[in-house]
Amino acid sequence: MEKFISKSTEQTPYITLDPENGIFEIRGVSRPEDVNKNYVPVVEWFKRYRNNPNETTSFDFRFDYFNTATAKLLYDVLALLEEVQNDGKSVTINWYYNELDLDMKSAGQEFEDMVDLPFQFYSYKA
């Protein structure tokens, strides 16, 4: 499966989906004017990935900020990863947050409550 890379801008995060090297990450700021333009390709990529996933998928989320429109599409990605896990593959979500940004930690905990996936939380200093 081809890897997917989207470079960051002031409004959009850096995204790498590279199953060959086991790199799955979204990091940065996500407040695109057109959230569908930015995330529908990611959701579509995961729909294809779900058909032939790696034995282990470890996904890193490291947001400085994301808006509510982004949250909906992040949930869609997590739901697809939940399907991968339900098919017997290993999936882990690594949620990174600035140690001073407890709202971002809380956002990760809310996602954890919405899906049946193991989340690991990691704080870092800015």
User: Regarding predicted confidence, which is higher, 1 or 25?
Assistant: 25
Separation between Cα atoms, residue 6 and residue 121, nearest integer Å: 24
Residue range(s) defining the domain that contains residue 111: 4-124
The enclosing domain of 25 has a CATH number of 3.30.750
Per-residue model confidence (pLDDT) at position 98: 97
Instruction: Tell me how many domains the chain contains.
Output: 1
Separation between Cα atoms, residue 82 and residue 80, nearest integer Å: 5
Per-residue pLDDT at 126 exceeds 90: no
Per-residue model confidence (pLDDT) at position 6: 97
Q: Model confidence over 51-84: pLDDT tens digits? A: 999 999 999 999 999 999 999 999 999 999 999 9
Per-residue model confidence (pLDDT) at position 35: 95
Q: Model confidence over 88-103: pLDDT tens digits? A: 999 999 999 999 999 9
Q: Are 29 and 63 in contact (CB under 8 A)?
A: yes
